[in-house]
Amino acid sequence: MDKVDYGPWIDLAGDPPECGGDFPPERVATLLGMTLRALAVSLNWATPVAAGARVWPPIVDAATVDEYLSSGALWCDPLVAWFDLTQQPAPQSARRVPPGFGDSEPRTSAYWLSVMRRQGIRDRLSVSVRLGPRSHVAFVAATGDRDFTDDDLAVVRRLQPLLRTLYRQADVLGQSRTLAPMAGGSPLTRRKLAVLSLLAEGHPAAAIGRRLAISERTVQKHLEHLYRKLKAHDRLTAVLSAQQAGLLVNP
């Protein structure tokens, strides 16, 4: 593929104000589509009790999406079955999935290939942002005139840590019980607010790193910045200062 422009991804990683505290799926999908020269990119999620998909641009008709999600054969999609059975988070394309994945059910990989062909889709490339047993959240790029290449896979492998971090950061902020409502207007980036929230909940640096899909060293850098901003020298005084500043809910 042509030389990749990582500039927009660097901007996204910088946590610009317009991203707010939410995971920006449409922006990520648009960037992935441009980077991979894809026909479309979707955000797909599936658990044993719920499944959904959003597509940018909406090239797949609503009836096909409903069929895909409600048929009961979702887990027979070879690309979904690959991640579910191997639990390997590395990006994968549909054309690279070995024969047999999804073939144990009435609707086989041949069925899903026919579904994709009806929509003019030749190949798909999935980048997981969350993966667990029978649980999967991923961005999926589709191409209509070519197979995804080794270079395409190499590019999304570089981007995957950023996507995982953005997704987990938004998840932490969305579930936080410690951040005050006014925290969204603070001068702290959303990533540092996520670290602050987990710090207030008592998580050590290693656990914060696992929750946000970043290294412990990166967590320590965020903590150093937080301590300077809050004029604190340890975890306790940082939390107390954040409470006094209205960033955290008082216990």
Q: Which helix (H) or strand (E) holds 28?
A: helix 25-36
Triad 39, 45, 50: Cα angle to 5°:
135
Phi-psi region of 123 (alpha: psi -120 to 50; beta: other; left: phi over 0): beta
**Does residue 170 fall inside a structural domain?**
no
Query: Is 138 in the same domain as 193?
Result: no
Flag whether 231 is in a domain.
yes
Mean pLDDT throughout 146-156? 95
**Structural domain span for residue 17:** 7-164
Least confident of 8-12, 91-95, 211-215: 8-12
Residues 141 and 105 in one domain: yes
Residue 24's pLDDT is 77
Domain count within the chain: 2
Task: Give yes or no for residue 166 having a pLDDT over 50.
Answer: yes
User: Same domain for 41 and 141?
Assistant: yes
- 31, pLDDT greater than 70: yes
Q: Is 159's pLDDT higher than 50?
A: yes
Does some domain include residue 131?
Answer: yes
Amino acid at 192: K
Is residue 55 within 8 A of residue 40, CB to CB? The reply is yes
What pLDDT digit, counting tens, does each position of 86-138 carry? 999 999 999 898 877 766 554 566 677 777 777 788 999 999 999 888 788 99
Q: What's the DSSP call for residue 91?
A: -
Q: Which of 112, 133, 164 is the last residue of a domain?
A: 164
Give the HSE-up count for residue 21: Cα atoms under 13 Å, Cβ half-sphere. Answer: 20
Residue type, 184: G
**Is residue 26, in this structure, part of any structural domain at all?**
yes
- Residues 14 and 113 reside in one and the same domain: yes
Phi, psi (degrees; rounded to nearest 5) at 108: -95, -175
- Asked whether the bond before 57 is cis by omega within 30 degrees of 0, the reply is yes
Domain end, chosen from 164, 195, 230, is at 164
Residue 251 falls inside a structural domain: no
pLDDT tens track for 34-47:
999 999 998 888 77
- Last-in-domain residue among 117, 142, 164: 164
Report the first-to-last Cα separation within the chain, whole angstroms.
53
Beta strands per DSSP E along the chain: 40-46, 51-56, 92-93, 123-132, 135-143
pLDDT at 192: 87
User: Does some domain include residue 169?
Assistant: no
Residue 186 confidence (pLDDT): 66
Q: Which CATH number do you get for residue 212? A: 1.10.10.10
Q: What CA–CA distance (Å, rounded) separates 65 from 123? A: 17
Confidence band for 183, pLDDT divided at 50, 70 and 90: low
User: Do both 32 and 64 map to the same domain?
Assistant: yes
Predicted pLDDT of residue 11 = 80
pLDDT of residue 170: 82
pTM of the model: 0.79
For every residue of 142-160, DSSP letters joined together read: EESSSPPPHHHHHHHHHHH
Confidence of residue 18 (pLDDT cuts 50, 70, 90): very low
Q: Tell me, yes or no, whether 250 lies in a domain.
A: no
Type of residue found at 98: P
CB 134 within 8 A of CB 84: yes
Same domain assignment for residues 149 and 32: yes
Residues 22 and 139 in one domain: yes
Beta bridge partners of 138: 44, 128
b/e sequence 49-79, b meaning 16+ C-beta within 10 Å: eebeeebbeeebeeeebeebeeeebbbbbbb
7 phi, psi to nearest 5 deg = -55, -50
The pLDDT value recorded for residue 22 is 53
Q: Which is more confident, 157 or 73?
A: 157
pLDDT band at residue 19 using 50, 70 and 90 as cut-offs: very low
Nearest to 42 by CA among 34, 30, 50: 30
